[in-house]
Structure 1
Amino acid sequence: MSTQKNPVEMLMQWAKERPSTPWLFQPVNGAWKSYTWAEAESQVRSMATALKSLGFPAGTAIAISGRNTAHWFFADLAISMAGYVSVGLYPKQSVDAVKYILNHCEAKVVFIGPMPDADDFAKGLPAGILKIGFPYADLGIACDHQWDDLVKKSEPFSGYTPPDPKQLATLVYTSGTTGNPKGVMITGENMAFATMGLMKTMPAVGTEKFFSYLPLAHMFERGALELASIYLGAQVYFNENIEKLAEQLKEVAPTRFFGVPLVYSRIQGGVLRKLPQEKLERLLKIPLLSSFIKKKIKTGAGLQNVRYMFVGAAPMPMPLMKWFEKLGLTVLQGYGMTENSIYATANLPKANRFGSVGRAMPGADMRISEEGEIQYKHAGVMAGYYKEPEKTVETFTADGWLRTGDKGRVDAEGYLYITGRVKDIFKTLKGKYVAPAPIEGSLARNTDIDQMCFVGTGLTQPIMTVTLTPEAQKKSRGDVEAGLIADMKVVNETLEPHEEIAKCLILKESWTIDNGMMTPTMKVKRNEVEKRFLPLIEKHAQNRDKIGWE
């Protein structure tokens, strides 16, 4: 048995050692409501009693919905304290996915949090599931019980016995770019191993302050933020809604910031709206002004206190990384997947190599197979897929290594470079295979591109479908086309003839979670892009123009 404390025990420890120290900061009507460690423990203990009183057997699945809130954390810990298994649901998850997940894990209870799509979400709820409403005004779903009422009438849970670390702690459903979501079984041991490794490589310096806005249903936010805050004793501020992200990020000024490439390009866009690139470059060349400008930009974005800035979920374009670097902000790229508790590789402030996803984390045994696939074997690797033994077997090698489905190479110093997806490779009509990821990464040199997806199934020559940044949409078509043609020429010179980009097809509408073009973790659904734009792609494939417009 492990001697490492689990998250519930850590909460109890902080409540004893720092009862009146604030831990969580929840925005309510423009003001921050704080919860101390002792208040958090009290909420968690009473809710654990309330859940136990419902009479469900140990190990029952209990779901948590809505955007990130203090009560998301409380519910997760109360579920664990009561001996149940938590299941996170994404905001803006499709009705079919909600229905599938809740039926698949046989959830008996769902915590209802504030969300932008309450009407759709309600359609996915199975008949008979108990709904417990978090204490927020804008839920939009009628609930069987209210959080505050249950907490008020329930005695604090006592006599907590830590479970076996190898026991199932949470089910994390992968957002899935294809097919039904898969329930990744994460044990207490998986979480403890990954969190301990994170603390070793990134120890706390003074009071750490986090800003929580990426979905808690995803293992990244759960591990790097929720669990890290519990183990490090760090403060957490929650984003009220996505429209307030820039404003609240500035207000909070966290010591660690995590984002996906899209968030970083939005921060860049916000800066360039006030200070155009040409003017910025001019000012940064003036020695006396340069440090003042950098400081002003960092403070304006809320990034002046950041010690670690991480990007994940998708590769970040090199020009964007270099743009932040010029401002004295190093964006560190990491790599991991739900199946290995997001514990794989990371660049660190004193060990950072642009273009790579860093070196293996402590104890994260990694190898590259003969086919070039990245594989892992360590204590953070999942127990398997829930109720899917065949898929579990497929995901592991005969000697027990986790197949990531990603291809990569490791340099002489141990830095890992992702070179594509094993399954993303497509075949053109020439019968030749093309790996899209590296080509997309190369064309990301063009700063007018917001999102892109390289497609070629059923085509003689592949086409790059792109959407433009808000700034690029204001430019003349001629300027946009000239930039894209020049960058395509540079990229094509490095490619085999069958891989070359035949043209860029510029699409009007941005790809979002709402319109089904992105997963809740902001990955582009390649199959959706191909399916939705196939007639347009085929039509444009018939002419020789280098640029096509929707």
Structure 2
Amino acid sequence: MTMFDDSRERAAEIRKLSIIPELISHHLSIRGDDPALSEYDAKKQEWVTLSFKELWERAQLWHKAITASGLKKGDKAAMLLPNSIDAVCFDQGTLIGGRVPVPLHIIDTAANCAYILNDSETKLLVILNRARWHAIEQAGIDLPHLKTVVFIDDEGEGISSSGVETLGLNEWLARGQESTLPFEGPTEEDLAALVYTSGTTGKPKGVMLTHKNIMSDISALLYNLAPVGGDEWLSFLPLSHTFERTTSYYIGLGMGNKVTFSRGVTRILDDLKHTRPTIMMSVPRVYEKVAAKIKERLKTKGSAAQFVFNSAVNAGYRRFERRNGLAAHNPFINTLDDLLDPFYNKTVRNQIRNSFGGRLRVAVSGGAALSTDVARTLIGLG
């Protein structure tokens, strides 16, 4: 089977699905033992990976704990977590029972978080530690709907001064293990997320997205991204943003690909070398920083190196134009570009590709405009 056939078959599987949890569960009988999610465990000081079966089993534990916490279909559950296996288990565990995830931005202010929790009428919050919760609790906003707060890295403190019960993750999950409470799963018309804007033009506003909204976006994006079996994604943009949530998370896992969570922007170069991703979602500033570093290095290498670099970029961009029917070039120039291509690969392009892990074949920029100069440079080096 060719990569193209594999891509079409997996995309066809996704287009038969109607709700988000099926993006994981539909793999169980056909590729359940394949790697799904990977992250760095700072306590163990090693990378850990879950298969699709292991991820689904863990998501079921979260679902049972959420049910045991009294949340019914349509109730809101919020998370304030970095990109992680726990963040995915929260999301899937919430969605399995027809509840609505409210993803908070990990670097948002305590006041903004408190406002969103109140405005969304969130009943359950999963948060990294006590310190973040105490800051939200003291933000001066009443949270009458919030009943339970779960700490990932700390033990619970019992009932807080505001009347909210706090628990550590293991204690909370243990409560749900024996749960046999009934639940009602979602339909495609039910809410799949309540994603809040940043609030830069006033108070944050909640965007209501249904399962059908998101699954429709996924179906359309598959034509452009065209992932195949064996693709690997590196995720570092926050899952509180719909762009990363829909692509690296939902599409990556939906296609049966392995998704690795980066340790953060400061470690991204190390993570690229470790993961060697084939697909990566990013924002313009990351690519702009890469292009700026390349140009800084060129300044120290003299005019000959700069000439070869610019020639490689121009030849690569001309090839891109020809392949996409954007321009027709002189046959002599085309032949010369083809002859020099191995030289450009060896002296210029491979070095740049290796800094991204050496296997990157799809790099998407979203969220803002990418400058023409940077786009031309990166395309020419691709």
Normalised-by-shorter TM-score class: 0.7 to 0.9
How far residue 46 of structure 1 moved from its aligned partner, in angstroms, is 1.3
Matches within 5 A, 1:497-516: none
Deviation at 1:126, TM superposition (A): 5.3
- Residue number among 314, 324, 327 corresponding to 2:381 in the alignment: 327
Q: Is the 8 A contact 2:130 2:154 kept in 1?
A: no
Q: Does 1:34 align with 2:52?
A: no
Q: Distance in 1 between matches of 2:221 and 2:374?
A: 26
Q: In the alignment, which residue of structure 2 is the partner of 1:43?
A: 58
Percent of matched pairs sharing the same residue: 22
Aligned counterpart, 1:297: 352
Equivalent position of 1:393 in the other structure: none
Matched to 2:217, the amino acid is A
Query: What is the aligned partner in structure 1 of residue 86 from structure 2?
Result: 71
Shift in Å, 1:48 = 0.7
Structure-2 separation of matches of 1:63 and 1:42: 21
1:14 maps to which residue? Answer: 27
Q: Is the 8 A contact 1:167 1:188 kept in 2?
A: yes
Farther-moved stretch of structure 1 (280-289 vs 48-57): 280-289
Whether 2:108 is the aligned partner of 1:93: answer yes
* Contact kept in structure 2, 1:62 and 1:110, CA below 8 Å: yes
Q: Which runs of 5+ in 2 are unaligned?
A: 1-14, 313-339
* 2: CA distance, partners of 1:311 / 1:138: 39
Residue 308 of structure 2 corresponds to: 283
Corresponding residue for residue 314 of structure 1: 368
Deviation at 1:226, TM superposition (A): 1.2
Alignment partner of 1:77: what SS? helix
CA offset at residue 37 of structure 1? 0.9
> Deviation at 1:19?
2.6
Q: C-alpha offsets along residues 254-277 of structure 1, whole Å, 9 cap, x if unaligned?
A: 111111111111222343444437
Structure 1 residues 276 and 98: CA distance shift in structure 2, 3 A: same
Which residue matches 1:155?
177
The verdict on how the C-alpha distance between 1:115 and 1:89 changes in structure 2, with shifts beyond 3 A counting, is farther
Instruction: Kindly indicate which of the two structures has a greater share of residues assigned to helix.
Output: 2
Residue 24 of structure 1 is matched in structure 2 by: 37
Amino acid at match of 1:110: L
Deviation at 1:43, TM superposition (A): 0.9
Q: 1:81 and 2:96 equivalent?
A: yes
Task: State whether residues 258 and 311 of structure 1, in contact with CA within 8 Å, keep that contact through their aligned partners in structure 2.
Answer: yes
2:148 aligns to what? 130
Is residue 291 of structure 2 the alignment partner of residue 236 of structure 1?
no
Q: How does 1:107-118 map to 2 (within 5 A)?
A: 107-113=122-128
CA distance in structure 1 between the aligned counterparts of 2:142 and 2:356, rounded to whole angstroms = 42
SS of 2:40's equivalent in the other structure is strand
In structure 1, what is the equivalent of residue 206 of structure 2? Answer: 183
Q: Residues 15, 146 of structure 1: CA spacing in aligned structure 2 closer, same or farther, 3 A cutoff? A: farther
Distance 2:132 2:166 in 1: 19
Aligned equivalents of 2:224, 2:183: Cα separation in 1: 31
Given that 1:91 and 1:115 are in contact with CA atoms closer than 8 Å, whether structure 2 keeps it comes out as: no
Q: Which moved more, 1:14-23 or 1:110-119?
A: 110-119
1:475-524 residue CA offsets vs partner (Å, 9 max, x unmatched): xxxxxxxxxxxxxxxxxxxxxxxxxxxxxxxxxxxxxxxxxxxxxxxxxx
Looking at structure 2, the residues matched to 264 and 277 of structure 1 have their Cα atoms a distance apart, in angstroms, of 21
Query: 8 Å contact 1:261–1:316 — kept in the other structure?
Result: yes
Letter in 2 for 1:185: M
> CA 1:116 to 1:130, structure 2 compared with 1: closer, same or farther past 3 Å?
closer
Calculate the TM-score normalised by the size of structure 2. Answer: 0.76
CA positional deviation for 1:324 = 1.2
- What CA distance in whole angstroms lies between the structure 1 residues aligned with 2:20 and 2:121? 24
Change in CA separation of 1:290 and 1:174 when aligned onto 2, cut-off 3 Å: same
Give me the whole-angstrom Cα distance separating, in 2, the residues matched to 1:164 and 1:230: 20
Give CA deviations for 1:451-484 in whole Å, capped at 9, x if unaligned: xxxxxxxxxxxxxxxxxxxxxxxxxxxxxxxxxx
**Highest RCO, 1 vs 2 (Cα 8 Å, sep ≥ 6):** 2
**Aligned-pair CA distance for 1:231:** 1.6
Query: Shift of the alpha carbon at 1:198?
Result: 1.6
SS of equivalent to 1:190: helix
| Aligned partners of 1:62 and 1:108 also within 8 Å | yes
56-65 or 281-290: which moved more? 281-290
Cα RMSD (Å): 3.0
Deviations 1:219-260 (A, max 9, x none): 101111111023211111101122112221232121111111
SS at match of 1:108: strand
| Equivalent position of 1:246 in the other structure | 269
- The equivalences for 1:327-476 within 5 A come to 327-328=381-382
Once residues 154 and 277 of structure 2 are traced to their aligned partners in structure 1, the CA distance between those partners, rounded to angstroms, is 27
Contact 2:67 2:176 in 1 (8 A): no
- Cα deviation, 1:55-114, whole Å, max 9, x if unaligned, reads 233211100112111111110010011221100000111222112111100111111137
1:318 maps to amino acid = T
Q: 1:255 to 1:119 in 2, by over 3 A?
A: farther
Select the structure that is richer in strand: 1
Structure 1 position 119, deviation (Å): 6.9
Query: 1:4/1:306 Cα in 2 relative to 1: closer, same or farther (>3 Å)?
Result: same
2:76 corresponds, among 44, 61, 65, to 61
CA contact (8 A) 1:46 1:156 kept: no
The 8 Å contact of residues 173 and 183 in structure 1, kept in 2 or not, is answered as yes
User: Which of residues 231, 236, 256 in structure 2 aligns to 1:213?
Assistant: 236
The residue type equivalent to 1:51 in the other structure is I
1:261 aligns with 2:284: yes
Residue 102 of structure 1 aligns to which amino acid in structure 2?
L
